[in-house]
Chains A and B, each alone.
Chain A
Amino acid sequence: MSSVRVLVGTRKGAFILSSDGKREKWEVNGPFFGGWEVYHLKGSPVDPNRIYASQSSSWHGQVIQRSSDGGVTWEAVGNKFAYHGDTGTHQWYDGTPHPWEFKRVWHLEPSLVDPDTVYAGVEDAALFRTTDGGQNWHELSGLRGHGSGSRWQPGAGGMCLHTILLDPKNHNRIFIAISAAGAFRSDDAGATWKPINRGLRSQYIPDPVAEVGHCVHRIAMHPSRPDTLFMQKHWDVMRSDNGGDQWQEVSGNLPTDFGFVIDVHAHEPETIYVIPIKSDAEHYPPDGRLRVYRSRTGGNDWEPLTNGLPQSHCYVNVLRDGMAVDSLDSCGIYFGTTGGQVYASPDAGETWSAIVRDLPPVVSVEVQTLP
């Protein structure tokens, strides 16, 4: 019988939640790496027992952990993230040049075909790759070297490369997104990159339609339709049907188009989910009501999902890596909050319940669907 494993990164450790295919009763294991920030954990699609975790601390820097037994035991692997060549500068908040400095790994994306190959999106924004299970990491320097790197500047949360999407139909194609530089695509396995921000409008930057400088919060893709991308931007929910070459806004009737997460139903590539947040100054749901919004038409027409979610006095946030879906027949949707709850819906969003409460603030949620 199928089962699911939910990998939860928090400000003070990692947790692994397990259930059978009914997704009614949950076993909670953790904390792993207690006291450390765990920005992200993710399992290999080709070996689900191989899980990678990003453990970091302001005191002790970055540690990469690897498990080969589904998260029961862990070993620290390589954590040397050295930028390639002359690192140069990017813009600081005040507009002055600032040297590139490695701070932490925000996102780990294991290869679709090789459990020893993993991509890491880091702050200050760069993309690294390991091909030996995390022992050694090498920068794919064509990204920063593409020409606009010196103009990138941090968002409020830092200048992080937070989204990595690997195209299942074209292994040479990789999408990434950086806050607050925008989205980029490589068609040659990470050697060279181009910005894919045409159609984005950001009134808060000097040139609202600039090639780079847009604050992209998250990009999502359905594996059967990798040319169709969905984006939650600082403001605006966007859609592209040509691999990011052109975007159009699909915010439609959302109560606010600000938010962090966006994800796609496992079996319906036109069914997407967002969690609107009141504003960029008020990082909580409008009216204190936690509502997931679902569109079954690929955007524009949105319906609120509320059954089981708190509908009063709820002022949590859901951060950019905080939502994931499983691939069981009835698609399960999961998200974690800064209030320490992980909510799950086993029926594509119709009903929700908290499968765990009172964790430290949740930073990331990933789901593994196990045979």
Chain B
Amino acid sequence: MIRVILPSHLRTLASVGGEVQLDLAGPVTSCSILDALEARFPMLRGTIRDQVTRQRRPFLRFFACNEDVSFVPPDGPLPDAVATGREPFFIVGAIAGG
């Protein structure tokens, strides 16, 4: 079981109150997490990564175990703590604007 923390706008859009729990088969990567997330919450398609380029949106970052994993390749392995559900996978919006 994987735990995902969404930014507030996306929690509202997906109508979820707290963290999202997902069951994944296979390697736990940012790509597999987002695939599972979008399959369960189709309204999130395109909001975290571009649907055409598959690139992470520029104002969003991924964190796990207090580390920035935004630049781990989409198919690269995430920490075991995320894969086992001990730690959540954070999707965080940049603090930008006034």
The residues of A with any CB-CB pair to B shorter than 8 Å are 34-36, 57-63, 75-76, 79-80, 82, 102
Range class of the B interface residue count: 10 to 19
Known interface pairs A58-B59, A60-B48, A61-B47; 7 further A-B residue pairs with C-beta atoms within 8 A, sorted by A's residue number? A59-B7, A60-B57, A60-B60, A61-B57, A75-B43, A76-B42, A82-B52
A63 touches B51 (CB 8 A): no
Contact of B46 among A59, A75, A79 (CB under 8 A): A79
A80 touches B59 (CB 8 A): no
Listed A/B pairs (12) with beta-carbon separation below 8 Å: A36-B9, A57-B9, A58-B59, A59-B7, A59-B60, A59-B93, A60-B9, A60-B10, A61-B57, A76-B13, A80-B45, A82-B52
Bound-state Cα–Cα, A60 to B96, Å: 13
B57 touches A82 (CB 8 A): no
Q: Given A60-B10, A61-B50: A79 and B57 within 8 A (CB)?
A: no
Q: Which residues does chain B contribute within 8 Å of A35, judged by CB atoms?
A: 9
Bound-state Cα–Cα, A14 to B38, Å: 25
Q: Which residues does chain B contribute within 8 Å of A34, judged by CB atoms?
A: 12
A61 touches B46 (CB 8 A): yes
B46 touches A62 (CB 8 A): yes
Mask of B1-26 contacts with A, CB within 8 angstroms, 1/0: 00000010110110000000000000
A59 touches B13 (CB 8 A): no
The residue in chain B whose Cβ has the minimal distance to the Cβ of A34 is B12
B10 touches A63 (CB 8 A): no
The residue in chain A whose Cβ has the minimal distance to the Cβ of B41 is A76
The residue in chain A whose Cβ has the minimal distance to the Cβ of B52 is A82
The residue in chain A whose Cβ has the minimal distance to the Cβ of B97 is A58
Bound-state Cα–Cα, A59 to B43, Å: 15
B94 touches A59 (CB 8 A): yes
Bound-state Cα–Cα, A80 to B7, Å: 21
Q: Which residues does chain A contribute within 8 Å of B43, judged by CB atoms?
A: 63, 75-76
